[in-house]
Structure formats: structure tokens, C-alpha cells
Amino acid sequence: AATPAVVTVTGAAGQIGYALLFRIASGQLLGPDTPVRLRLLEIPPAVRAAEGTAMELDDCAFPLLAGIDVLDDARAAFDGVNVALLVGARPRTAGMERGDLLSANGGIFRPQGEAINAGAADDVRVLVVGNPANTNAFIAASHAPDVPADRFTAMTRLDHNRAVAQLAARTGSGVDEIRRLAIWGNHSATQYPDLTHATVRGQAATGLVDHEWVEQTFIPTVAKRGAAIIEARGASSAASAANAAIDHVHTWVHGTPEGDWTSAGVVSHGEYGVPEGLVASFPVTSSGGAWHVVPDLDVDDFSRARIDASVAELVEERESVRSLGLV
């Protein structure tokens, strides 16, 4: 039988964790031929709850689930890890300053980066879901100098999937008829959902929707969807976030279809004027188990301004974590 892949999920007792773990154990993350050994990392007060989830995972009798460990120690949790899903983070609470938020998350993502550096498998792939996702990924990568920087990614696939769903609804098409949408920049309200290269049933999306709808409805609906879900559900996106995490890793391992791309927060090499080293969302393809930023796209003035604004926010976050001594 195949050797199980070690998949570590942090924040395993949280609501995204609950929506994610069963799908991983059923084979949806890595495919039907790869058994998985799950490591659930939590903080001590939540270990008991994570153990409850582990009991339920046992009770599913998933054929691909080779074992589960519930841990509160990052070194143990990331030892030999192949896929690390960093979901647990410190949320912003009322009255919290941005510096406090970044410091609290530095206290989580620095030791996790160090633990990944110390013990991860050579092929480790890291997806940061916990917010502020791009900057948390930047912090973790900064503390893992022996791991290639391109193994650290931040999740904008939920934003991407939201954009696909909005454009499909507007154009009366199926989601599988939409290609080449892109999310640029930060996973925050400044993100730029870009349909200037998108096609719907092979036709340019820009010919099917007007610019006013793009600017007044499409972009804000996608960028503020998380708040709209909280408003409606009374809790933040969980199953859709877990679904996007599954999509991100599945695409990373198995590749993008010919002629299409997706979106992911990856470490910039300076593409499209995004400063090197920032973890920014780009249109990306995946092949050979690696992400590639889609090259040579025309960026119009409207797009340029939106990308620059979101990237400026990432630069500010980087300056803040530097001045706080977090990297």
C-alpha cells in the first residue's frame, strides 16, 4: 500500500477545521490513492474538543485514514509533515489595534514556521488560511529559511470561487463555463477580483457585463462576501472556506486544466510590479506540483490601480511586522 501522507491541520477544533477534516480523511484533498495520517494541532484549552472530532473521524471508518494524533505541540505536529493547513489564528476582537493583531499572530506563525523548518518533509506544502492570511504566510515563511519560499502560500481560492459564482449567476452560465478569473493582492477588502481576462463559454466576459456592474456590484460583492455571510449566518464562512482549502491543495498537487488558471497567494518574484518576497494573490497555473504566475497579461489602468492599492496594503503589513520585530 502507498505510504500515508502526513496532513497537519491547525485550529482543528474550530469551525473550518470541523468542515475540513472529514473531507481530507475521505480522500478529497489528495485523491483516492493516497492514505492520510492526520495531525490535529490545537491550543491546550481546545485539545479536548479536537479529541472529540478525532473520535468522530474514527467513527466514519474512512478507508484512507491511516491514523490521527491530537497535539498541542507544534514541533510534534509538523514532524514529517507533507501538507500543512494553517487554519488556527488569532481573530481581531473589538478594540484591538492592528499592531496587536499582527503581534498575536506573529506569536502563532513564527513558532509554526520554525517547527516546519525543523521537521517538515522535503516536499512540504503549506497553505495559510488563518487571517491575516497573506501576512501570516509571510511571517511563517520568514522563519523557515531551509524550506523553499514557494512552498508557503495563502488562501485566496475562496475569493476566486466566490467571483466565479457571481459571474456565472450574472451571465446565466454554469460555473464550469467560466475561465481565467483572477484575484490579485491581499485576502482583504482591498483584493481585486479581475474579470478582464475571463471568458464565459469562450466569449470575453467584458463583452457580457458592463463596467458599472463590475465596479459597483461584482468587485464589492466578492470582496465583502465574508461580512455578508456573517450577517446572514451569524457565523463566518466555514464550509466554503474548507472547500476552498481542499481546492487549493488539490490543484497544487494535481494541476490546473489546460487553458484555465486559478488564484493563490504566492511569494512574489517581482511579477507585475509586486515587490519581491510579498505573499500576494496572482492568477496562477499549477503544473509539476508547483505554482506558476500567469505571465504577460495586459493590465489596464483600472486593474493597475486596484492591484497597486491592494499591494500597498501588503507592503504596509510587511512594514508593521518588521517594525514589531516579528520577522
Give the C-alpha separation, 290 to 124, whole Å.
12
Residue 313 engages ligand NAX in binding (rule: CB under 6 A)? no
Kindly tell me which of 36 and 41 has the beta carbon lying closer to ligand NAX. 41
Give the C-alpha separation, 116 to 114, whole Å.
5
Residue 11 engages ligand NAX in binding (rule: CB under 6 A)? yes
Q: Which of 143, 187, 197, 248 is catalytic?
A: 187
Residue with cell 514557494: 150
From the list 11-19, 113-121, 169-177, 267-275, the region that binds ligand NAX by CB under 6 A is 11-19
Binding positions for ligand NAX, 136-165, rule CB under 6 A: 155, 158
Q: Is 207 marked within a binding site?
A: no
Single residue of 28, 196, 236, 320 touching ligand NAX by CB under 6 A: 236
Q: Is 230 marked within a binding site?
A: no
From the list 42-50, 61-69, 116-124, 210-218, the region that binds ligand NAX by CB under 6 A is 42-50
Q: Site mask, ligand NAX, residues 49-88, x = CB under 6 A?
A: --------------------------------------xx
The verdict on whether 187 is a catalytic residue reads yes
Shortest Cβ distance from residue 299 to ligand NAX (Å)? 24
Contact (Cβ atoms closer than 8 angstroms) between residue 114 and residue 154: no
Residues 6+ apart with CB under 8 A from 223: 159, 189, 190, 191, 193
Residue 14 engages ligand NAX in binding (rule: CB under 6 A)? yes
Kindly tell me which of 18 and 272 has the beta carbon lying closer to ligand NAX. 18
Q: Is 11 marked within a binding site?
A: yes
Q: SS3 for 240-309, per residue?
A: HHHHHHHHHHHHHHHCCCCCCCEEEEEECCCHHHCCCCCEEEEEEEEECCEEEECCCCCCCHHHHHHHHH
Single residue of 241, 279, 311, 321 touching ligand NAX by CB under 6 A: 241
Residue 186 engages ligand NAX in binding (rule: CB under 6 A)? no
Residue with cell 476582537: 93
Give the C-alpha separation, 274 to 293, whole Å.
12
Give the C-alpha separation, 166 to 217, whole Å.
10
Residue 187 engages ligand NAX in binding (rule: CB under 6 A)? yes
Kindly tell me which of 109 and 199 has the beta carbon lying closer to ligand NAX. 109
DSSP category for residue 92: -
How many residues bind ligand NAX (CB under 6 A)? The answer is 28
Shortest Cβ distance from residue 108 to ligand NAX (Å)? 4
Please give the distance of CA 220 from its chain centroid, rounded to a whole number: 20
Which position's Cβ is nearest ligand NAX? 14
Residues in the chain: 327
Residue 129 engages ligand NAX in binding (rule: CB under 6 A)? yes
Kindly tell me which of 35 and 132 has the beta carbon lying closer to ligand NAX. 132
88: left (phi over 0), alpha (psi -120 to 50) or beta: beta
Smallest CA-to-CA distance from 66 within 46, 45, 80 is with 80
Q: In what order do the strands lie in the sheet with 199-200?
A: 178-179, 199-200, 203-204
Residue 246 engages ligand NAX in binding (rule: CB under 6 A)? no
Residues that bind ligand NAX (CB under 6 A): 10-11, 13-17, 41-43, 46, 87-89, 91, 108, 129-131, 133, 155, 158, 187, 226, 236-238, 241
